[in-house]
Amino acid sequence: KQEVTQIPAALSVPEGENLVLNCSFTDSAIYNLQWFRQDPGKGLTSLLLIQSSQREQTSGRLNASLDKSSGRSTLYIAASQPGDSATYLCAVAPGSGTYKYIFGTGTRLKVLA
């Protein structure tokens, strides 16, 4: 059964710092992996989607990498800003062609001005 874990659970950094959020999954047979941002009381916003055949994806100050064999993905945020404060979730689509994304518990990020 696929399990998705994210560490750390919470992170507080000063503005301008580069940071890395971690996601690990137990079954390497995945179809794709998405990183989402969740603001309090709001829905989830998809940040990056990495296909199983890809190693990384970039969007602006965000870079996500995927290492299927080790069951890991990282989200790198460059030059963090207070507006980046949110909960970041990773979600894995299992490799059996299922539509069912399995989510991690998230990392709650606070960027201090």
Partner 1 sequence: EPEVTQTPSHQVTQMGQEVILRCVPISNHLYFYWYRQILGQKVEFLVSFYNNEISEKSEIFDDQFSVERPDGSNFTLKIRSTKLEDSAMYFCASSPSYNSPLHFGNGTRLTVT
| Residue ranges that bind partner 1, judged by CB under 8 A | 31-32, 34, 36, 41-46, 49, 51, 89, 91, 98-106
Which positions ≥6 away from 40 have C-beta within 8 Å? Answer: none
Minimum distance from CB of 14 to partner 1 (Å)? 28
Minimum distance from CB of 95 to partner 1 (Å)? 12
Following CA atoms 101, 50, 34, 102 in sequence, which dihedral angle do they give, to the nearest 10 degrees? 30
Minimum distance from CB of 42 to partner 1 (Å)? 5
Nearer to partner 1, 42 or 83 (CB): 42
CA–CA distance, 81 with 84 (Å, rounded to integer): 5
Tokens of 64: 């996500």
Nearer to partner 1, 81 or 105 (CB): 105
